[in-house]
C-alpha cells in the first residue's frame, strides 16, 4: 500500500480521510505527536503528506517550512483558509497543491493521484529519512557523506528504498538486476548486496539492511538514529 502521513487535528476528518483512502489502496498514518513530525515522516517514509494549516501550537506553514528543510516528499495542504494569498503562500513555501475546506473527498483523491504521478515521472531522488539515493548520479548520501554506486548496486538499493520496511525477495531483486548484456545469477545478487551493505556501513548505516533467511532483505527505515 502507498503510505501517506496525515497532519490534521480534527478527529472526524482524520477518520473520514483515512477510511476513504484505505478503500483506494492508501495506508494513512495520522500524526500523533507534533513534537515528532520529522521523526514520524522519517520512520513512515510516506509517498505524500496531507497537511492542515490550523493546528495546535504552530500553524501548518511552520511545519511546511520545517518539513521542506529535511524532505522532498510531496505535500498537499488542506485548509479552511481559502484566500488566494494563503494559497500562494503555501505553494511558494513548497506545497505541491492546496485544497480548501470544505472539499470533496473525490477531488482530494484525484489531486493525490495527480501529484504522485508527477512525482513518479520527475523524481531524481528517493528519500528514507536522512538517506537519499540520487538517480541522475547513482550516488547515495547520508547526512553530509556520500558514496558512488555501480549500476547494479544502485538498482539493488533503489528497490529496497522504494519498499522500505518491507521484505524484498531475492526473486524481485534478481528481476531488477536482469540485463540482456550481462549474466545475472544468485551469486551476482549476493555480491552486489554485500557491496551495498558495505557502502551503507561506511555512511554510518551498518545495520540498515537486514537479511531474512530464505526469503530476502529488508531496509529498516528506523535503523539510523536520526531516521
**CB atoms < 10 A from the CB of 12, how many?**
8
Share of the chain above pLDDT 70, in %: 93
Given a contact cutoff of 8 angstroms between Cβ atoms, the answer to whether 195 and 150 are in contact is yes
C-alpha dist (Å) from residue 182 to 96, 152, 175, 179:
40, 11, 13, 6
Query: 0.85 cut: is pTM over it?
Result: no
Which pLDDT score is estimated for 157? 95
Ordered by start, the domain boundaries in the chain are 2-122, 125-219
Given a contact cutoff of 8 angstroms between Cβ atoms, the answer to whether 197 and 219 are in contact is no
Domain 125-219: state its class: mainly alpha
Given a cut of 90, is residue 19 above it in pLDDT?
Answer: yes
pLDDT digits (tens, 9 = 90+) for 171-193: 999 988 876 545 678 888 999 99
Question: Average pLDDT in the 108-130 region?
Answer: 82
pLDDT digits (tens, 9 = 90+) for 51-96: 999 898 899 999 999 998 888 889 999 998 889 999 999 999 989 9
- The CATH code of domain 2-122 reads 3.40.50.2300
Question: Average pLDDT in the 91-115 region?
Answer: 92
pLDDT, averaged across the chain: 88
Given a cut of 70, is residue 123 above it in pLDDT?
Answer: no
Question: What is the rounded distance in angstroms from the CA atom of residue 102 to the CA atom of residue 17?
Answer: 13
Amino acid at each position: 500500500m502507498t503510505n501517506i502521513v496525515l497532519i490534521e487535528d480534527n478527529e472526524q476528518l482524520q477518520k473520514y480521510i483515512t477510511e476513504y483512502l484505505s478503500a483506494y489502496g492508501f495506508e494513512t498514518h495520522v500524526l500523533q505527536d507534533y513534537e515528532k513530525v520529522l521523526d514520524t515522516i522519517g520512520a513512515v517514509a510516506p509517498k505524500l503528506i496531507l497537511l492542515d494549516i490550523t493546528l495546535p501550537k504552530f500553524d501548518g506553514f511552520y511545519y511546511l517550512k520545517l518539513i521542506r528543510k529535511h524532505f522532498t516528499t510531496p505535500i498537499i495542504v488542506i485548509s479552511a483558509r481559502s484566500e488566494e494569498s494563503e494559497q500562494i503562500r503555501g505553494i511558494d513555501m513548497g506545497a505541491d497543491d492546496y485544497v480548501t475546506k470544505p472539499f470533496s473527498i473525490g477531488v482530494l483523491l484525484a489531486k493525490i493521484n495527480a501529484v504522485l504521478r508527477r512525482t513518479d515521472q520527475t523524481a531524481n531522488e528517493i528519500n528514507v529519512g536522512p538517506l537519499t539515493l540520487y538517480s541522475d548520479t547513482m550516488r547515495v548520501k547520508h547526512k553530509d557523506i556520500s558514496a558512488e554506486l555501480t549500476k547494479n548496486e544502485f538498482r539493488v538499493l533503489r528497490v529496497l528504498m522504494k519498499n522500505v520496511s518491507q521484505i524484498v525477495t531475492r526473486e524481485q531483486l534478481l528481476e531488477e538486476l536482469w540485463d540482456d548484456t550481462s549474466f545475472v545469477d544468485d551469486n551476482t545478487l549476493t555480491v552486489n548486496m554485500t557491496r551495498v551493505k558495505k557502502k551503507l556501513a561506511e555512511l554510518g548505516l551498518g545495520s540498515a539492511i537486514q537479511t531474512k533467511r530464505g526469503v530476502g532483505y529488508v531496509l529498516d527505515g528506523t535503523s539510523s538514529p536520526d531516521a
